[in-house]
Amino acid sequence: MDKNFIKEMEAKLKEQQKNLRKDLASFAEKNVHKKDDYNTRFPNYGNKDEENAVEVADFQDNLSLENDLEKNLAEVGKALERIKIGTYGKCEKCGKKMGRERLEAFPAAITCVDCKNLS
Ligand SMILES: [Zn+2]
């Protein structure tokens, strides 16, 4: 795969990584012991019953958001790692080269469309 294209994807991935980390940091604490792991903060709106109820609801929402963002962050990190070791753009399942369109649409892709649809 040509170097300029990979450079372009690398820049995109780094941008995504930055944004994901920023989003996570806005409602979660970074785990200093584990890379790209975050723990959602429990919000504190006050001590009234209604306030406590909203705290719990928001906490649950943020927990599932945290999960999604962490998953994306892990995929982006993996793709960047694959660029480093030179396997970027190769499907992890079948080993075939992925098309440019697939990577342009989803730079963190690790499987080709066929394999993705199978799983
Ligand atoms: Zn495949």
pLDDT digit string (tens) for 83-111? 999 999 999 999 999 999 999 999 999 99
User: How far does the centroid of ligand 1 lie from the alpha carbon of residue 59, in Å?
Assistant: 37
pLDDT digit string (tens) for 50-79? 999 999 999 999 999 999 999 999 999 999
Nearest Cα to 36, choosing from 82, 6, 80, 85?
Answer: 80
Domains in the chain: boundaries: 3-88
Nearest Cα to 92, choosing from 100, 80, 77, 82?
Answer: 82
User: How far does the centroid of ligand 1 lie from the alpha carbon of residue 8, in Å?
Assistant: 22
Rounded CA-CA distance 114/117 in Å is: 5
pLDDT value at position 112?
Answer: 94
User: How far does the centroid of ligand 1 lie from the alpha carbon of residue 114, in Å?
Assistant: 6
